[in-house]
Structure 1
Amino acid sequence: MGIGATTAGFPAVRRTPGTAFGIYVHVPFCATRCGYCDFNTYTAGELGGATPQGWLAAVRAELAMAACVVSDVTVDTVFVGGGTPSLLGGAGLASVLDAVRDNFVLGPDAEVTTEANPESTSAPFFEQIRRAGYTRVSLGMQSVAERVLAVLDRTHSPGRALQAAQEALAAGFEHLNIDLIYGTPGESDDDLRHSVDAALSAGVDHVSAYALVVEDGTALARRVSRGEIARPDDDVLAHRYELLDGWLSAAGLSWYEVSNWSRPGAECRHNLGYWNGGQWWGAGPGAHGFVGDTRWWNVKRPLAYAEQLGQGRAPVADFERLDDHDRHVEDVLLQIRLREGLPVGALSETEQRRATDAVTAGLLTHNGDRLVLTGRGRLLADAVVRDVLD
């Protein structure tokens, strides 16, 4: 599939009016590579000559191109992810947001989020990015159990994540997320409980929790294949999810997406844009964008990304056009994961009959004219989607 010709070098796109619009900026830099991670990230020795300064110049160039392709749009959300955005420092992250503002109009209540690794943050860092206009921070804590962090190859100390959370709140951030990973081999129920208690004691209003997945090609996958550690057990993962949901719900954080819990009003609006069919521009190496009926993805290597933009060429590796069937499948896949669920009327008659079978099986329930996953259904969300769509 080739790239359609436009003056900016991007595939020809036409924005769908009336939906949320976000900008995602991918920061590909990491100090070390975590054993479970298969994201498009690079340590210093893997960059092949790419630099943060060259990356930022390239991002600025891409956002300028983006403004030509998608004009007259108000940006509702910005999300800086990675990788480890906090490695850029407060000044670097301020420059990223300046690059967005130089090319787009931010809405008056725009949500602006950055991910951060606790070890590359400090009280002055949080104060600087808050002054720059960031409104939300997502901290990668994963666990407070040292043995769990060791299996995951995480370098931060258990206490640093909690200190970072307190520094962020002191800097004036109203919305603070902590990421947890559950099901790591060797983790106990008590390990997970201590991690949840620590997150709650830090005063966060949002928790994202993900089951450990052994991704092909990672250091974790190689250790599992050699028999050094066990593969995560599905029954244990289901049990841990139920524990998480119970503890977080009791503390006043309600699930609003299968892997996300928040206090009222603290939901991540950027991610809700993805799940509710919004549109976004993805800037940076390997970033994905979606506008109108078109999804595209950038070249992955930071040096190639910067070189293409330096030559005035779009960094797009490829793209695809989504037809009505593709969009329908995605809407079902994403919306069924949300607390509000999926409108029954969005399904065909055949799909509605299959959904009725899922209701009978206790996986879905009716909430007015919408279908919502039950607690058991959340554990089997992907299977529910397959059964409804097949």
Structure 2
Amino acid sequence: MPSISKATYLWILTIAIACCSAIKCLAVQHDLKEAREKLRREEELRNMERAGRTKAERRLRCELKALIRGQTNGGVCLKPIARISSPFKGRCGTPRQGLLAPNARGQIKLQSGICKTSLDQLNAFTHMWVIFLFDQNTNWTDALCSESESFTYTAKIAPPRLFGKRVGVFSTRSPHRPNPIGLSVVAIQAVDEKAGVIHISGVDLTDGTPILDIKPYIPYDVVLEHKVPAWVVCEDLPAWQLQVMPEAEAVLRELATERGSPFYSTYEELRALLRDVLLQDVRSIHKGRGTVVEDKSSLKGGANFSEPFTCNIDDIAVEFVALQNAIQIIRCSEEYRNALDPGPEDNKLVIENKRKSHG
């Protein structure tokens, strides 16, 4: 067998290496082409799926809107984001406007399902809007129990400052409205983001009121040129001072230091709250709002409006009379419950009982 020269061997080896490289290059090009084709097919499939999903979601929204419109006459479901703790356990004694009672304190605590970081930077503002539900409305419980779409609300109501005269409900801030939603401005005292709690003042909400939303108060909310009826800005109430009888003062001083209120720990703080609230005359028009003991008009239809009036403020029964020049607190006690002014838990019982009676 003839021997292969070294040069020939190297030539054959070079050709073999070149052929292997060429084959490997062709294989890589084939794999790359298949990968590109696979990527193109996946992108097309993803675009088709996205288009189909978007179309399906659009169709689902349309059907859902039609379903809601058909079942609830276009209504929507709102869930509370928070609850408020305040010194006012019932409607009687709750300020009609929070800014008129700057010493009325409260705490808004976020519900467990609301992320606490939602409060980030809220402490950079001094005031905020609170959107809430009038959950203690008596006509609201009637609306919940009614299955008829024709359930109606009183179109005209009598604001306290009009002393019996009626105007359209949408011309007032009355809680008795088709949708029992309220709006208040409160002052931000502190924000505890870790606990999910906002400490506020200027509160005009009852304890346990569901909060639907909060929004910061900004300069653009101020309307410089505005017009309101005279009865909105002018109220013919006497220029009262607050007087606390010695016996009542002794009880208030004791309660302020011993009962552990989350809002007031001194007599001076508690007295400031009572001054803010009582000097605005918490009595309704049917209970003698604006009348005084010496006023003969306080005897109307056999009702003696000169009798002492009692309300619950920070779990204290405050009994007072309206004199010519002063609101005079004559008695105070710790235990108080107004059976005619149910709280949130009582409202639940009222609703259940009404539903049973309707059923």
Question: What is the TM-score of this pair, normalised by structure 1?
Answer: 0.25
Higher RCO (CA < 8 A, seq sep 6+): 2
Q: Give the structure-2-normalised TM-score.
A: 0.26
Q: Please say which structure displays the higher CA radius of gyration.
A: 2
